[in-house]
Amino acid sequence: MEIQTKLKILSDAAKYDVSCSSSGSSRKNQTGGIGNGHLAGICHSWSDDGRCISLLKILLTNYCVYDCAYCVNRVTNDVPRAAFTPEEVAELTINFYRRNYIEGLFLSSAIYKSPDYTMELLLKAVKKLREEYRFNGYIHLKGIPGADFRLIAEAGKFVDRMSVNIELPSQQGLKLLAPQKSKESIVKPMNFIYSQIIQKNDEKKRFKKVPLFVPAGQTTQLIIGATPDRDLNILKLSENLYRRFSLKRVYYSAYVPVASNPNLPSITTKPPLIREHRLYQADWLLRFYGFTANELLDEQKPDFDIELDPKSDWAIRNLGMFPVEVNRADYEMLLRVPGIGVRSALKIVAARRTHPLSYESLKKIGVVLKRAKHFITCQGKFYGEVGLNDKLIRQCLVLKKQEKPDNASRFEQLSIFSLLPDDPKPEDTLASITGEF
């Protein structure tokens, strides 16, 4: 099989892994131009400092011995199959890098023959890149559940980030849809990677030179909508993962129906993209805004409101804590006001040291007043039109979110948004990057 055919099959198979979002297009290149936006394999990810990084995103192989009902690569599914050799992965990465198409590699794999055999092939590919090609770029590698820890430990020396995907949020979901996997086989390698990272960090304090081990940390992915798990359970799981293993990110992937199965949603079911978006928003609230899962949801309300972001929904359910005076509220309370993000809260705290803030100055700081005005007072004055009435505030916020900007029609060609009830606004796109609401 030609290398280009393999690339087409294995990059397409990798698109369901959302640890980095896919990109690329079929646009025809201009003669004499540079760069290439070809669909196969190129995706974009974001670094901690906000830079966009192009990655070659591929599977080593989509041959799989597992039969997970939700997975397009399951052994019983009739799809084109292919497998790279470790040498081909290394050569592809270097050739793409030399052409300035990519800055790094995102390498995953189905389970080929056995977890140990697959992990050995992945290790061989990244080791070849680092030692033979002296590749210094970013490498994100999948840790294979069930593989020998010695293989994972060796691979961790050569890669920047490693992830072990949980996929299904509950043990019941695994038994139902992926009976060959178990919670223990997934959690144990995550715990091992975490313990190795901690050990290396301790050694750095005592020794000048310590070999690197997964310096960019570990991540995981949860599939949303394949099982009847509630948002509360998913968010609690994420919260525990952040606490126990210090994960850098938990990625949420809306389930895309790929097969008919009595244990799965109908093949015609649309991917729950809004639900995925709400979970990402809640995830930011856990990590940067000081919220807990039990504050955002409870047994009486186990799922997020599809029409309202989690922070506004929480504020409306806790109106007794509002309004807060922006000139006196502490930083932690400011973070809980809808329309005030991390940067805005920091600017408010810094600015009011020198002078009281006016309502007009809040907009210049970056506060989204159309949301915040229902929950704050500024110099003692309340600016919300409907008072502290939860139903009317919710109605105001939902109506504003349903209003489309005048130029919204210009963005209709983006097919992903056609799946949504309403188009995300420009500030929602920015919020997904900065984490501010």
Tell me: pLDDT of 25 over 70: no
Detail the DSSP E strand segments found in 70-215: 104-108, 138-142, 161-163
Tell me: pLDDT of 278 over 50: yes
- Average pLDDT of 353-374? 93
Tokens representing residue 88 in the block: 């081909």
Rounded to the nearest integer, the mean pLDDT of the chain is: 84
Residue 185 confidence (pLDDT): 86
Strands lying side by side in the sheet with 138-142:
21-22, 42-46, 52-59, 104-108, 138-142, 161-163, 218-224, 249-254
Identify the burial level of 375 via C-beta atoms within 10 angstroms of its C-beta, where 0-12 means exposed, 13-18 middle and 19 or more buried: buried
Half-sphere exposure of 215 (CA within 13 A, CB side): 12
Looking only at the bridges linking them, the beta strands covering 21-22 and 42-46 are: antiparallel
In the block, residue with structure tokens 């997970």? 68
- Average pLDDT of 277-287? 95
**Residue 167 gets which letter from DSSP?**
B
Residue 167 confidence (pLDDT): 84
Residue 22 confidence (pLDDT): 41
pLDDT tens by residue, 335-344: 999 999 999 9
Residue 181 confidence (pLDDT): 84
H or E element: which one contains 83?
A: none
DSSP result, 332-373:
HHHHTSTT--HHHHHHHHHHTTTSPPPHHHHHHHT--HHHHT
> Residue 421 — pLDDT band, cuts 50, 70, 90?
low
Go through the chain and tell me how many residues it has. Answer: 437
